[in-house]
Amino acid sequence: MKKKVSWLFITAFITVVAISIAFFIDKVTVTASNSALLDQGWHANFSTPLKKDALGSNDLYIADRNGKQVTADVTLGNAGNTLYVKGLVPGSYTLHVKKNAFKGRVLKSLPMDKVKFTVHETIESVASAKELKAYFERANKMQQSDQTVTMEMEDATSSNSAKSESAKSSGSDHSTTNNQVEGVDEADSVKTDGNYIYSVMGNNKVTITDIRDPKKIQKTSEIKMEEEFYPSQLFLHGDTLIVLGEKYEPYNNEESTSEARTSRPMNGMTTVRMYTVKNPKTPKLIREIGAEGYLNGARKTGNMLYFVTNVQPNFWIMNEIDGDTLRPHVYDSIEGPDSELIDYKDISILPGAMEPTYSVISAIDLSSPAEGKVVTKGYLGASEQLYMSEKNLYLAATIYETNTSISNKMSWNPGTANSELFKFTLNKTNVTFQNSATLKGHLLNQFSMDEHNGYFRVVTTEGNMWDDKKPSKNHLFILDENLNTTGSVEGLAKGERIYSARFIGDKAYMVTFRETDPLFVIDVADPTAPKVLGELKIPGFSNYLHPLDENHLIGFGYETVAEKNPQGGEPLILTMGMKVSLFDVTDFNNPKETDTEIIGGRGTYSPVQYDHKALFQHKERNLYGFPVSVYDEIGKDHNIDFQSSGALVYEITPEHGIVLKGDLLKAKSRGEQYGDWEREIQRMLYSKDILYTVSMKEIKNYSLDTYAPIGNLQID
């Protein structure tokens, strides 16, 4: 009995020690940029909350470059974890933070209790290699410690517990890309002018196919690329074929140090190649333009092409950071055969930027493709999502902010994911940074953003849907031309996340999901007072929304079923077959799902569910189609079995709903366990009355009246 008691005592002791350690904070960290814009102010995020009464005291104050305390508009947010500073004139400042400024914490020492930052009237160019080196050295320290400043804590536990629009049909006789914004073309793997199909399908070449005679489609020519160049997307601009891809080449030895050449022997560049296809039989390369980094996105409007790349130099493997060689490389064949480092005057630091990453924006004048002006600028700061209207370019990046006072070696917290928005105005090759904003939550994709009548609308998800203590929630924000928030709807669908969104005029549509699919209809006509008009809850979810007309939406996603959880608790949600939904939003307060089509079973998928450009549409015939691979469930263990692959075409109208018109599926062969990926359809398009399907290996065509096959062409 005594032995049992002793073990109970030891167990209790270990438990108490573990709890004490769990609530012990061994450091306080702060994340902050070293620059800010005058009209937006500066902010810093602390892992431990600050006291409100510390503001303006000797424990927390701001001093100018001469050490004199200055008056500023200083406030707290995020439960005291975020410090906001406004009302300062342009200049250099230092935030002083002492141990008594924090809630319930005693600091042993403050080796870095000063955070320096600069307020600018507008973003300024990087002046020199020294300034660029300082930026990357700071970023390097942040990557090593995950934070800018570390303040060590006492080794004793505290007595206080821590608080824990789709492009409109132009009446053309051939397909166009399914673009988000009217007048803004998006790059795609297949383009057509109605007479020829231009395709790039991952086989390191561009194929040009003559479709003028549907009964005798034939390969006209192909552009074979060298091993170092990987083409992926295309534009057509009159008689010019624009090929975008990734190219790897050695750095210019004359400009790079031996150390840089050793650590970064190959330079990955997003490259734009322009070919004249006035005679498609003999395409000729007329120009090549490149910007270092992987492609974020590309858009074409009028005679202008814009593309954005992301570059993260490998500075962390250098023994000594060299600011001069950490500039991005750019290339233009009419300037010479070698790439060059971008000029310092063309590099700026975005407000709030703390990442060792460039967003590089290139603008190309296509009015004369062979000799048009090209301007490339590099902005220090990350970007992930891209949205572009005819006049403005918006980049969005996820930023992680520590928002908990518990930050020790025994428990890891990734922090809160928020979003940084950057707006650039477009005037031909003049791309000018205008403003930035920080929003709660992170964006899903480009359809989370929209510009309308001078206002910018955004939807975000804040938090983690599986965090029961602090469940996720979803927001809609409306910002003016200066990216100041004018109105918002916050806290929608707690415990769920956004799966799709679409803005159409004065309405916003948003699908969230966890167990059911709520479709929210939000009135955004008044930028100062958006409001939820209606909500529809149905099984499944839509991960792409497409406007049918101003009163109807098509949703592409999945059907789901709920099963009893053998472990207890919430039911298990299983994804089943692909689901196409027709939504009637004529009565905004009472949206309805008027028709559905379930395709296949568990495992069925289509590219349209993650790539809107895979949607085929023929507005005049009310036709909508997509490639699909069909699977079904066998047995009781949720095993899946391949059934067929190909494409489906539906006529979708408010009057008759979703009606299957063309079944282009090919059943599996005996023993076939999955589809032939080289022959799986990637894109569908039409020219006149003929439907074409394009895969890596072949192009097939069918009658749009009967869907009877006409012929096929082996293109590889």
Q: 585-635: per-residue pLDDT in tens?
A: 999 999 999 999 999 999 999 999 999 999 999 999 999 999 999 999 887
Q: Which pLDDT score, from 0 to 100, does residue 7 have?
A: 41
Higher pLDDT, 487 or 81: 487
Read off the tokens for 671.
């023993």
**164 pLDDT higher than 60:** no
Is residue 165 one of the residues assigned to a domain?
no
Residue 485 one-letter amino acid = T
For the segment 412-426, the average pLDDT, to the nearest whole number, is 79
> Apex CA 297: angle with CA 478 and CA 262, to 5°?
125
Read off the tokens for 498.
């956004």
**150 pLDDT higher than 90:** no
For the segment 217-229, the average pLDDT, to the nearest whole number, is 93
Q: Which pLDDT score, from 0 to 100, does residue 325 have?
A: 80
Q: For residues 601 and 707, what is the distance between their CA atoms, to the nearest angstrom?
A: 25
Residue 393 one-letter amino acid = L
Domain CATH code at residue 133: 2.60.40.10
**519 pLDDT higher than 70:** yes
Higher pLDDT, 111 or 509: 509
**374 pLDDT higher than 60:** yes
Q: Which residues have C-beta within 8 Å of that of residue 583, sequence separation ≥ 6?
A: 519, 536, 552, 553, 554, 555, 591, 592, 593, 594
For the segment 348-373, the average pLDDT, to the nearest whole number, is 92
Confidence at 674, pLDDT banded by 50, 70, 90: confident
Q: Which of 152, 185, 213 is the last residue of a domain?
A: 152
Q: 423-464 pLDDT, tens per residue?
A: 999 999 999 999 999 899 999 999 999 999 999 999 999 988
Whether the CB-CB separation of 113 and 151 falls below 8 Å is answered with yes
Q: Which residue has the tokens 């000594």?
A: 320
Q: For residues 501 and 485, what is the distance between their CA atoms, to the nearest angstrom?
A: 19
Q: For residues 377 and 392, what is the distance between their CA atoms, to the nearest angstrom?
A: 16
Average pLDDT taken over every residue of the chain: 84
Lowest mean pLDDT among 81-85, 161-165, 649-653: 161-165
Q: For residues 465 and 255, what is the distance between their CA atoms, to the nearest angstrom?
A: 49
Closest C-alpha among 321, 300, 287 to residue 233: 300
Read off the tokens for 521.
């209809």
Q: For residues 694 and 713, what is the distance between their CA atoms, to the nearest angstrom?
A: 10
**22 pLDDT higher than 90:** no
Is residue 121 one of the residues assigned to a domain?
yes
Q: Which pLDDT score, from 0 to 100, does residue 264 have?
A: 40
Q: 391-405 pLDDT, tens per residue?
A: 999 999 988 765 443
Q: Name the percent of the chain lying above pLDDT 70.
A: 84
Other C-beta atoms closer than 10 Å to the C-beta of 167 total 17
Is residue 185 one of the residues assigned to a domain?
no
Closest C-alpha among 375, 378, 364, 372 to residue 312: 378
Whether the CB-CB separation of 509 and 555 falls below 8 Å is answered with no
Instruction: Catalogue the E-assigned strands of 312-448.
Output: 329-332, 340-341, 347-349, 358-365, 374-380, 385-388, 392-401, 416-427, 430-439
Is residue 190 one of the residues assigned to a domain?
no
**471 pLDDT higher than 90:** no
Q: For residues 551 and 534, what is the distance between their CA atoms, to the nearest angstrom?
A: 14
Is residue 630 one of the residues assigned to a domain?
yes
Q: Which residues have C-beta within 8 Å of that of residue 503, sequence separation ≥ 6?
A: 165, 447, 450, 452, 457, 509, 524
Lowest mean pLDDT among 185-199, 339-353, 602-616: 339-353
Lowest mean pLDDT among 234-238, 323-327, 650-654, 712-716: 323-327
Q: For residues 538 and 103, what is the distance between their CA atoms, to the nearest angstrom?
A: 46
Q: pTM score > 0.75 for this model?
A: yes
Helix (H, G, I), strand (E, B) or coil at 262: helix
Is residue 406 one of the residues assigned to a domain?
no
**686 pLDDT higher than 80:** yes
Q: Which residues have C-beta within 8 Å of that of residue 419, sequence separation ≥ 6?
A: 396, 397, 398, 399, 438, 439, 440, 441, 442, 443, 458, 460
Q: Which residue has the tokens 């790059």?
A: 187
Q: For residues 386 and 399, what is the distance between their CA atoms, to the nearest angstrom?
A: 16
Is residue 143 one of the residues assigned to a domain?
yes
**105 pLDDT higher than 80:** no
Whether the CB-CB separation of 249 and 264 falls below 8 Å is answered with no
Confidence at 48, pLDDT banded by 50, 70, 90: confident
| Separate counts of helices (H) and strands (E) for the chain | 3, 50
Q: Which of 152, 171, 206 is the last residue of a domain?
A: 152
Q: Which pLDDT score, from 0 to 100, does residue 12 have?
A: 42
Q: For residues 100 and 98, what is the distance between their CA atoms, to the nearest angstrom?
A: 6
**1 pLDDT higher than 60:** no
Q: Which pLDDT score, from 0 to 100, does residue 78 have?
A: 74
Is residue 379 one of the residues assigned to a domain?
no
Other C-beta atoms closer than 10 Å to the C-beta of 670 total 4
**680 pLDDT higher than 70:** yes
- CA distances from residue 455 to 126, 398, 418, 450 in whole angstroms, order as listed: 31, 21, 20, 8
Q: Which pLDDT score, from 0 to 100, does residue 147 have?
A: 40
H or E element that contains 131? helix 129-145
Instruction: Identify which of 267-271, 298-302, 564-568 has the greatest average pLDDT.
Output: 298-302
Other C-beta atoms closer than 10 Å to the C-beta of 145 total 12
Q: Which domain holds residue 80?
A: 24-152
Q: For residues 581 and 578, what is the distance between their CA atoms, to the nearest angstrom?
A: 10
Number of domains in the chain: 2
**677 pLDDT higher than 80:** yes
Helix (H, G, I), strand (E, B) or coil at 642: strand
Which sign, positive or negative, has the C-alpha torsion 92, 98, 100, 101? Answer: positive
- CA distances from residue 438 to 40, 49, 397 in whole angstroms, order as listed: 10, 20, 10
Q: Which of 107, 123, 152 is the last residue of a domain?
A: 152
**18 pLDDT higher than 80:** no
For the segment 301-309, the average pLDDT, to the nearest whole number, is 98
Q: 167-184 pLDDT, tens per residue?
A: 444 457 999 999 999 999
Q: Which pLDDT score, from 0 to 100, does residue 103 have?
A: 85
